[in-house]
Chains A and B, each alone.
Chain A
Amino acid sequence: MPSTQAIPAALHGVPGEHSLLAGVGLRFWHLPVDAALHGHALDAQLLLNLWIALALFALLNLLLFGALAFKRRVHRPIHQLTLEYLPLAAFTALFIFLSVRAHTLWAAQRYTGAAPDALQVEVTGMQFAWYFRYPGADETFGRVRNTLVSPAEGNPVGIDPADPNGKDDIVRGQLVLPAGREVDLALRAVDVIHGFAIPEMRLKQNAVPGQTQHIHFTPQTPGDYAILCTQVCGLGHYRMQALLHVLPAAQFDAWLRKQESQVQR
C-alpha cells in the first residue's frame, strides 16, 4: 500500500505525461495527507477497495481481450456452476466482507453522538462563506435568527442580541481546533444546501437549511487544512472555502482565551 501523502509540487508541470507518471508513481492514488483520528482506518478501507477494484479491472480486461488471442475455439464446458455460480458466490462474499468492514467504521463514526466533553463548534454556511461560532465562556450558544444575518454589520450568523447567552459567543471566519480533542460540529445553512468538507480530515456532511446536522471527529496533526464547499450552491460555490487551523492543545486554549477576552457585544 502506498503512503497516503499529498502529491509533491514536483509532479506538476508538463501537461499529460506527468499525470500519467503520477498515475504509476508510488503515491498511486493521489490521496492527500490525512490528519484525523478516523482517517487511517478510512484510508485503509478505501485503499483496500481501490486495489481490489484495480485488480478486478485488470483481470477482466485480460480475460475479455486476452481470450481473443486463442486461435482455437473450445467447446465450452456447460458447467454453469463453475463458470457462473461459484465465482458469483465468491464475489458475493467479497461484497459482504467489504460492506461489513465499511459498516463498522460508519457505525463507529455516525451511530453515536460526540462525547459529552467534546469541543462544541457551530458551523454556518451561506452564499458563499463559512462562519464558525464558539459558545464562549458560558458554553451555551446564543439564539440565532436568519433575519439578523448580516456579515456587513459584524453579525454573520445572526445572533439575537436579546439573548444573554449570545453575548459571549465567538464568531470567526476560520476554524481553529485543538489537536487530539474530539470536536462536535453543528452544521447550519442560512440560504441553500452547502457541503461542508475537509478532505484532509476525511470529513464531509451537507449543511441543510432548516435543520442542524451534527458531526464529530478528532483532528490529530496540527497544521492548516482546506475547508471546501462540496454541494453546488450558486455561482460562488467554487470559492466558498475556509481555513482549518489545528493547534496543539495548549496553544489552542491560549487562543480561545484570547478570543473570549476580545468578544464584546
Chain B
Amino acid sequence: MPTILTPPGIRKPRRPGAPDHIGEGDHGSGRRPPTDKRTGGNGDGDNWSDRPPGRRGPRERLSRARIGLFFALGGDLMFFVALVSVFFVAKTSGHFDAYSRYINDWLPTSIPTILWLNTAVLLVSSVAAENARRSMFREQDLMDEWIGLGRPISRRAAVWLASTLALGGLFLAGQWIAWDQLSAQHVFFNSNASSHFFYLITIAHAIHLFLGIGALVAALIILARSRQLASRQVFVDATVWYWHAMGLLWIFLFVLLEFCQ
C-alpha cells in the first residue's frame, strides 16, 4: 500500500498550544510546504502543514535529500575551483632557463573534436534524466498507482532513466576514445603542463560520472523493487539533480579546456 497519498494518522490531536505560541513565521525546518498535490494533501482533507515537522510526509524527505545534495555539490565545486585555479597559475607561470631568459613552456593540448559530440550526448542525457524526474511526479500516474493499476510511474521513469544511463555510458565511452586519440598522438598525462590538466580534469569528471552511473543503476533497481513511492521519488530526484550538476560542471570544464588554454 503506497504511503504516498494517504499518509498514516491523518490530523492527530495536537499537544495543547504547541503551534499557536510559536511566532516568527518560521516553523523550524518544516517551513510550510507548498500544498503540493504530489506529496499528499490532494483533497483528502489532509493538510501536511498541520503536522509537526518530521511528520509532514515525503515532501520533507525530498527537500532533505536536495539540501544535502546541494551542500555536497558545494564542496565538490570547491574541489574543481582549486583545480581550475591551479590550471590558470600553471598556464601563466614559467621559469628562467640557464641563460636567465624567462620561458613559459605552456603548449596547449589540442582537444579532440569528439568532445563536442560527447558534450552534446551529455546534454541529451540530462534532458532524458529530467523527463525521468518529472515523470516521477506525474499526477495521473500517481493516481493510477494509488488505485492499484500497476506501477505506471516506475515504468515510465525507468525508460527515461535507462536512456540516461545509456547516454551516460556513451559519454564515458566517448571520453575514453578522446584519451585514446590523444595517446595515439603521444599526448600523455605527463607530456606537458596542459596535458596534466586535460587528463586530471576529464578523469576527475569521469569519476564523478561513474558515481552518477552507479546512482542511476541503484535508482533503476529501487524503481523496480521499492514499494514506497516516496523513496522512489526521492532517490530518482536526487540522482537526476546530481546528474544535471555534473552536466553543468562538464560544460564549464569543456569551455575551459576548449577555449581557455
A–B interface present (Cβ within 8 A): yes
Which residues of chain A are near B185, meaning CB under 8 Å? Answer: none
Residues 218-256 (chain A) with a chain B CB within 8 angstroms: none
A160 an interface residue at 8 Å Cβ cutoff? yes
Nearest B residue to A210, CB-CB: B95
Residues 71-98 (chain B) with a chain A CB within 8 angstroms: 95, 98
A160 in contact with B95 (CB, 8 Å):
no
Which residues of chain A are near B98, meaning CB under 8 Å? Answer: 143, 145, 160
Residues 127-147 (chain A) with a chain B CB within 8 angstroms: 143, 145
B99 an interface residue at 8 Å Cβ cutoff? yes
Q: For the side of the interface on A, what is the size category?
A: under 10
Secondary structure dominating the interface of A: loop
Residues 199-225 (chain A) with a chain B CB within 8 angstroms: 210
B100 an interface residue at 8 Å Cβ cutoff? yes
A143 in contact with B100 (CB, 8 Å):
yes
CB distance from A122 to the nearest CB of B (A): 13
CB distance from A135 to the nearest CB of B (A): 14
Nearest B residue to A146, CB-CB: B98
CB distance from B50 to the nearest CB of A (A): 39
Which residues of chain A are near B100, meaning CB under 8 Å? Answer: 143
The CA of A210 and the CA of B98, in the complex, are separated in Å by 12
Which residues of chain B are near A210, meaning CB under 8 Å? Answer: 95
CB-defined interface of B91-121 with A at 8 Å, one 1/0 digit per residue? 0000100111000000000000000000000
Secondary structure dominating the interface of B: loop
Number of A-B pairs whose CB atoms are under 8 Å?
6
Which residues of chain B are near A143, meaning CB under 8 Å? Answer: 98-100
The CA of A143 and the CA of B98, in the complex, are separated in Å by 7
CB distance from B118 to the nearest CB of A (A): 37
Which residue, B98, B99, B100, has most C-beta atoms of chain A within 10 A?
A: B98
The CA of A160 and the CA of B98, in the complex, are separated in Å by 9
CB distance from B37 to the nearest CB of A (A): 49
The CA of A252 and the CA of B14, in the complex, are separated in Å by 93
The CA of A242 and the CA of B80, in the complex, are separated in Å by 44
The CA of A160 and the CA of B100, in the complex, are separated in Å by 12
The CA of A143 and the CA of B100, in the complex, are separated in Å by 8
Residues 143-163 (chain A) with a chain B CB within 8 angstroms: 143, 145, 160
CB distance from A189 to the nearest CB of B (A): 14
The CA of A86 and the CA of B106, in the complex, are separated in Å by 55
The CA of A259 and the CA of B233, in the complex, are separated in Å by 83
CB distance from B253 to the nearest CB of A (A): 28
CB distance from A69 to the nearest CB of B (A): 41
Which residues of chain B are near A160, meaning CB under 8 Å? Answer: 98
Nearest A residue to B98, CB-CB: A145
Which residues of chain A are near B99, meaning CB under 8 Å? Answer: 143
Nearest A residue to B95, CB-CB: A210
The CA of A145 and the CA of B99, in the complex, are separated in Å by 10
The CA of A157 and the CA of B213, in the complex, are separated in Å by 55
CB distance from B86 to the nearest CB of A (A): 16
Nearest A residue to B100, CB-CB: A143
CB distance from B106 to the nearest CB of A (A): 16
CB distance from B172 to the nearest CB of A (A): 38
The CA of A210 and the CA of B99, in the complex, are separated in Å by 14
CB distance from A210 to the nearest CB of B (A): 6
The CA of A209 and the CA of B95, in the complex, are separated in Å by 11
CB distance from B170 to the nearest CB of A (A): 43
CB distance from B94 to the nearest CB of A (A): 10
The CA of A164 and the CA of B98, in the complex, are separated in Å by 14
Which residues of chain A are near B95, meaning CB under 8 Å? Answer: 210
CB distance from A141 to the nearest CB of B (A): 10
CB-defined interface of B169-206 with A at 8 Å, one 1/0 digit per residue? 00000000000000000000000000000000000000
Measured CB to CB, the residues of B under 8 A from A are: 95, 98-100
List 6 A-B pairs, Cβ < 8 Å.
A143-B98, A143-B99, A143-B100, A145-B98, A160-B98, A210-B95
Q: Which 6 A-B pairs have the closest CB atoms?
A: A145-B98, A143-B98, A210-B95, A143-B100, A143-B99, A160-B98
